[in-house]
Amino acid sequence: MMKRAKPSRRGRSRLRLFIVLAGLLILVSLLAPLLCPNDPNATSAAAMNRPPCAEYPFGTDRYGRCVCSRVLMGARTSIFSAVVLVGVTFAVGTALGMLAGWYGGIVDALVMRLADVMLAFPQMVLAIAVAGILGGGMVNAMLAMGITGWTLYARLARAQVLSLKEEPYVHAARLSGLGGWRVLTGTLLPNMLGPLLVTAATQIGVMMIGIAGLSFLGIGVVEPQAEWGSMINASRAYMQLAPWAVLAPAAATIVTVMVFNCLGDSVRDALDVGVER
């Protein structure tokens, strides 16, 4: 057999490092309004396309708005929307999948056929169509990504319930008089959380890229609300004049996605479950 890395000390310190980094990013996004050096929405005709200086650390965009402040406020939009979206799809998908696996029959057929159909659409194609027709806005963009997002958790949760259903401790819990709901949440859920959490952790980066992509296309978060994808799109026509207005949100996106992807990887290594996405 191949050597399989157990959650080593190195693995655990890696996990701790990325939890801290991700926590820092979330903290920055929560405290963004306090950290902004300038008003993110204040335009200034006198300071258009200004290169980075003491007053504007990342320069200004074509309306004279402070790029640094907008990147900070954009962190709020990007990180918040991705984390909330993953949380909601995780909860909905897991609940539906568990119900399908536990009760079987018609519930199972309904939930899983619906999941099959949603998986027949390429995720971004459906998201673009839905967001495009609904017409922009952060909530609509999240809805568009979530329509297919829940299926991952539903399939995983259903498979877990099916494999754990006949375990002696589940029978014991039922024989001791616990109802279906108590067995599901109290006995089964804690035992199947691992792979679900790993999937959720890896999905944060995916959802972040997806929402930024929609905003970049102009059908996600719309101006004047600051979002990295839409900032990159709006500034790319002025790339020759003001490259900082593109490069700053680009760097922010890359760093954030990488931190959350590393977090996902180290959660998987630490829990040692073979979910490969």
Partner 1 sequence: MAVGRTIGGRLIHLIWIMFAVSFLTFLLMFLAPGDAAAKKLNAQGVAVSEEVLEQTRVSMGLDRPFLVQYGEWALRALRGDLGASYKDGFPVADKLVRALGRTAVLTLSSLSLALLIALPLSVLSALKRDSVIDDVTRLFSFIGNSLPNFLISVLLMYFLSVRLRVLPLTANESVQGLVMPCLALSIPICGRFIRQFRAAILEELGKPYVSGAILRGVRRRYVLKSVLHNVSIPMLTIVGLSVGTLLGGSVVIETIFRWPGLGKLAMDAISNRDYPVIQGFVLLTSTVYVVINLLIDLCYRWIDPRLNESGGEA
Q: By CB under 8 A, name the binding residues for partner 1.
A: 1-2, 113, 116-117, 119-130, 132-135, 205, 209, 212-213, 216-219, 229, 232-233, 236, 239-240, 243, 246-247, 250, 253-254, 257-258, 261, 276
> Closest approach of Cβ 262 to partner 1, in Å?
8
Match 């929405």 to its residue by tokens.
41
> Closest approach of Cβ 256 to partner 1, in Å?
9
Q: What is the DSSP string of 175-212?
A: HTT--HHHIIIIIIHHHHHHHHHHHHHHHHHHHHHHHH
Is-contact 220 211, C-beta < 8 A? Answer: yes
Give 53: exposed, middle or buried? Use CB within 10 Å, 0-12, 13-18, 19+: exposed
> Closest approach of Cβ 22 to partner 1, in Å?
14
Nearer to partner 1, 183 or 264 (CB): 264
Whose CA is closest to 275, among 165, 190, 167, 156?
156
What is the C-alpha to C-alpha distance for residues 136 and 133, in angstroms, rounded to an integer?
8
Cis peptide before 37 (omega within 30 of 0): no
What is the C-alpha to C-alpha distance for residues 169 and 194, in angstroms, rounded to an integer?
18
What is the C-alpha to C-alpha distance for residues 154 and 117, in angstroms, rounded to an integer?
13
Nearer to partner 1, 36 or 247 (CB): 247
Nearer to partner 1, 35 or 275 (CB): 275
Nearer to partner 1, 51 or 122 (CB): 122
> Closest approach of Cβ 258 to partner 1, in Å?
5
Whose CA is closest to 188, among 156, 165, 159, 172?
165
> Closest approach of Cβ 70 to partner 1, in Å?
17
Nearer to partner 1, 3 or 9 (CB): 3
Nearer to partner 1, 73 or 234 (CB): 234
> Closest approach of Cβ 10 to partner 1, in Å?
13
> Closest approach of Cβ 39 to partner 1, in Å?
26
Contacts of 198 (CB under 8 A, 6+ apart): 264, 267, 268, 271, 273, 275
Nearer to partner 1, 38 or 227 (CB): 227
